[in-house]
Structure 1
Amino acid sequence: MSLLNVENLCIDIPGTRGTLHAVRGVSFHVDKGETLCIVGESGCGKSLTSHALLGLSPRIAKVQAAALSFDGTDLRKLRERDWQKLRGLRLSMIFQDPMTSLNPSFTIGALLTEVYRRHHPASAAQARDRAIEILQKVGIGNAEERLAQYPHQLSGGLRQRVMIAMGLICGPDLLIADEPTTALDVNIQLQILRLLQDLKRDMGLGILFVTHDLGLVARFADRVAVMYAGRIVETAPVAELFAKPCHPYTRALINCIPVPGKTQPGAPLGAIPGVVPSLIGPQQGCAFRDRCTHATPLCASRLKRQQDGGSHVYECHYTPEETAA
């Protein structure tokens, strides 16, 4: 059984212009010890999906799912009291911007020990020892001294490591990382990815990694789910996805990446024409059809789900061979 199982997740947000269908029938699973990367451009519904898994959707949002379970627990039936017991203990999240996610009024030590003592009957000294241990585990030197510092006294990379430490201090089974390397330079990004890989290996974590960077996906993922306009349009093991992308949107994303040795200096980079369609009001057919060079009238009428091998699934009426021809 999968650690996390999501089937037909829909998130609708009512507004003055109509209902925004932000997430439209999303399905995926994450196994223990596996990294699933959800990749897509800004505004496609990645963060809303990850927040729904922790019961953190906006109050105005209407969240529905055929199945939404974590290790056998039906998350749809949890009350806020139950969520507070689960969040941080077995299901944790690294938020996108540590500067706005860490309370600037509290020291690093206070933030970490509060999380630990909320879920464990530990003394202040025991919680402090655990905080030092987890800071060292995420690669922060002089851990004891860091406990007395405030978030603004740390660099961006250190703040991100503190966020990871907060997510791991109680030893969760699943870690959701919502674009945790967005504001970091390339060297720090690589350090954070290596750290998460080491922690996954040592702790047996399942990781749901949300990003818009295909370069990170290639380095870090076991499986990839490509998201566009509120839907997952393709899911595959990472090697298969890059070797044979089947959905036109996935191919377009990959074509936008410059390839060392192939992309000539000064040559124009790949781009996807058009804009993302509005998700307000009724939705039908493939949302990518207006930007797709292979679209036909059939694409506007309905969706078609196909398989390319056992675990490579995509939503398109046409195979890569047909669109190439």
Structure 2
Amino acid sequence: MSLLNVEDLCIDIAHPRGTLHAVRGVSFHVEKGETLCIVGESGCGKSLTSHALLGLSPKVAKVEAAELSFDGTDLRRLKERQWRGLRGLRMSMIFQDPMTSLNPSFTIGALLQEVYLRHHKASRAEARAHAEEMLRKVGIANAGERLNQYPHQLSGGLRQRVMIAMGLICGPDLLIADEPTTALDVNIQLQILRLLQELKQDMGLGILFVTHDLGLVARFADRVAVMYAGRVVETAPVQQLFERPCHPYTRALINCIPVPGRTLPGARLGAIPGVVPSLVGPQSGCAFRDRCTHATPLCSTRLQRRRDSAEHVYECHFTPEETAA
């Protein structure tokens, strides 16, 4: 049994011009000890999907799924009290911007202790000792002094490490990281990725990593789910995805990445023409068809699901050989 199973997840939001179909038929799974990266451009539904897994969808959103389960627990049937017992303890999340996610009115120690005390019967002294140990574990020096500081007194990289410590302080089985390196410079990004890799190996975590950066995906993922316009259009082990991308959108994304030694300074970078289609109102066919050079009238009528290998699945009417030709 997989740690997390998502089958046919749909998220609809009421809109003045109709229904916004923000997430449409998304399916994936996460195993214990593996990292699944969800990748796609802004607005494709990555964050809405990750928030739905923790019952954090906005009230205006209608969430439905054929299956939404965590370690055998049906998440669709949980009441808010049950969610509070699960969030932070067995499932936790690193949010996108630590500056807005950490309460500026509380010290780092108070924020970490609150999470620990919510799920464990312990004294404040025990919770503080555990918080200090967790800060050391995520690579923060002078951890005892940092507990007395406020979020604004820390650098962006340290704030992100505090967010990771907060997510891991109760020893969860699944960590959801929603673009945790977006606001950080490249060196700090690599430090955070190495830290997550080490913690995954030490704690046996399953990680769902949400990003728009294929460079991070290549370094960090075990498997990849590519999202476009609310749908997962391709899922594959990371090496297979980069060696043999099957969906035209995946190939277009990869072609936009500058290649050291091949992309000359000042050369024109790759780009995907057109814009993401509106998801308001009835939807049919492949959403990428208006930006795809291989589209035919068939692409507007229905979706075609293909399997390139046992673990490599994509939605396209054509094989990679046909579209390459």
TM-score by length of structure 2 reads 1.00
**Cα distance, 1:294 vs. partner?**
0.3
Cα distance per residue 1:130-163 (max 9 Å; x no partner): 0001000000000000000000000000000000
SS of aligned partner of 1:63 = strand
1:177 equivalent to 2:177? Answer yes
Q: Tell me the amino acid that sits aligned with residue 25 of structure 2.
A: G
Q: Secondary structure at the match of 1:262?
A: coil
Aligned counterparts of 1:165 and 1:324: Cα–Cα separation in 2: 46
C-alpha distance in 2 between matches for 1:142 and 1:40: 38
Query: Counterparts of 1:172-321 in structure 2 under 5 Å?
Result: 172-321=172-321
- AA partner of residue 164 (structure 2): I
CA RMSD of aligned residues (A): 0.3
Unmatched 5+ stretches in structure 1: none
The aligned amino acid for 1:268 is R
Within 2, Cα distance between the matches of 1:323 and 1:212? Answer: 24
Which residue type is aligned with residue 293 of structure 1?
T
Point out where structure 2 has 5 or more consecutive residues left out of the alignment: none
Question: Deviation per CA, 1:220-276, whole angstroms, max 9, x where unpaired?
Answer: 000000000000000000000000000000000000001011111111000000000
Aligned partner letter, 1:120: H
Runs of 4+ aligned residues of structure 1 deviating over 4 Å after TM superposition are none
Residue in structure 2 matched with residue 89 of structure 1 by the alignment: 89
Q: Aligned with 1:68: secondary structure?
A: strand
- Look up the SS of the partner of 2:294 in the other structure: coil
**Number of the residue aligned with 1:102:** 102
Identity %: 85
Give, as a single letter, the amino acid of the residue that structure 1 aligns with 2:237. P
Match of 1:76 in 2: 76
Residue 261 of structure 1 aligns to which amino acid in structure 2? G
Query: Secondary structure of 2:33's partner?
Result: coil
3-state DSSP of counterpart to 2:257 = coil
1:102-148 CA-to-partner distances (Å, cap 9, x unmatched) read: 00000000000000000000101110110001000000000000000
- How far did 1:15 drift? 1.4
Q: Number of residue pairs matched?
A: 325
Q: Secondary structure at the match of 1:144?
A: helix
Q: CA deviation at 1:190?
A: 0.2
Secondary structure at the aligned position of 2:114 is classed as helix
Output the amino acid matched with 1:137: K
